Amino acid sequence: MLRTNHAILHAFDFEVGSAYLSQAELPLDDRQTKSYVQRHLRRITSSPESRHGEFSEDSRFAAQLAEYLAGANDFVGISVEVAQWFWEELRRMDAVEQCDLLVAEFEETPDLKASDREDEVAASFDGDAPRWFAVLVLPRKLTFAHELDPESNGIFRNDGTLPSPTQKIVSYLLINERTMAIDFSDKPRLIAGREVNVIADDFLKCQTRPSGRDVFSAVSAIVEEVSQEAGLTPAMEVSRAKAALAHAAEADEAVSPRDVGRAVFADREDLRERYERAVDQQQLPDEVPVRRGAANRMAKTHSIRTDTGITITFPSELAEREGFIDFSRSENGRLTITISNVARIDNR
């Protein structure tokens, strides 16, 4: 469960060249405002696209955040400093994008749900819940609306619409205030013809590691290649890799590429060694943080498509359980897929 303690919204208008830096926090006692902020925060905290990093010694923002955590600045003050930096940097882009900047501080207890008892929820936030500092670049959308007037009606343009709570946010950062570990996502931007990663290289100045999705895509490709070379069924082995990832994330919220390979090729030492050589060649990290929600998105199901146009999606864990889905190959090399233990079939 997530509880937002502070949130503030700053507006940038690059067309007129003005930044509107708020001096008041958003009213989180307003249900609609609170829901909007928290839905965006939930999406980025569970995003498998989040890359990971650590502050470098010369990071200016790391020092500013440390001052804030020590009580030398308040939330509005540090949010304004952050907004001023983003305003100055984003206005230098070759192609500016209208946006607002949401800054928030929140706590999270992943094991609780909104439906749990109020006393349990309150106790879970009593000093030990992880606290996060978040910055989200919210792209504004161009929308049109019907204007109704007693004397006339028409269509008017609105350039200031915020993204919906379900829209994917590309540029954001999350900092664990206890460990100073960083999760972030961004896209390359052009400034004076030079491609720049604004958040990682300029604002955070952090050493970066790949996202859980990046690592798992690489692991899946290695498992598929090794399986194919060994005459195994890649679809089954990749689904077993997904199941291993989900189990690891459920237990530790972290995944080791080597452990995934050991689980998939437990009975074949030769394939396990070939897999680990490929992991070394690609210089994959020993371990990558993967939140449970992100792992479920990536690994809960596995989809395959045959050359005859048939698509099958099944829970990844079924690859480890006998008698549910099986692949066999005939002498002419053709595959047969057998789905068993089915009590009901629904049309979708």
Is residue 144 pLDDT above 60, yes or no? yes
Residue 192 backbone class (left: φ over 0; alpha: ψ -120 to 50; beta: rest): left
Cα separation, 89 vs 12, in Å, equals: 12
pLDDT of 245-270, one tens digit each? 888 877 777 788 898 888 889 888 89
CB atoms within 10 A of CB 163: 17
Per the model's pLDDT, the better-predicted residue between 306 and 160 turns out to be 306
Per the model's pLDDT, the better-predicted residue between 94 and 26 turns out to be 26
SS3 347: coil
pLDDT of 265-274, one tens digit each? 988 889 989 9
What average pLDDT is seen over the chain? 86
pLDDT of 278-310, one tens digit each? 999 988 888 888 777 777 777 778 888 888 888
List, as own/partner pairs, every contact residues 118-124 make where C-beta atoms lie below 8 angstroms and the sequence separation is at least 24, other chains included.
121/1, 124/1
Per the model's pLDDT, the better-predicted residue between 142 and 78 turns out to be 78
DSSP E strands, 202-334 = 206-209, 254-255, 288-289, 301-305, 311-315, 325-329
Mean pLDDT on 228-246: 85
Cα separation, 335 vs 346, in Å, equals: 25
Is residue 143 pLDDT above 70, yes or no? yes
List, as own/partner pairs, every contact residues 280-285 make where C-beta atoms lie below 8 angstroms and the sequence separation is at least 24, other chains included.
282/218, 282/222, 284/210, 284/215, 284/218, 284/219, 284/257, 285/209, 285/210, 285/215, 285/257
Cβ contact 291:249 at 8 Å:
yes
Is residue 88 pLDDT above 80, yes or no? yes
* pLDDT for res 137: 96
* pLDDT for res 250: 76
Predicted structure pTM score:
0.77
Is residue 124 pLDDT above 70, yes or no? no
Cβ contact 183:134 at 8 Å:
no
pLDDT-derived band at 122 (thresholds 50, 70, 90) equals low
Mean pLDDT on 180-201: 88
Per-domain boundaries in the chain: 2-209, 212-339
* pLDDT for res 26: 97
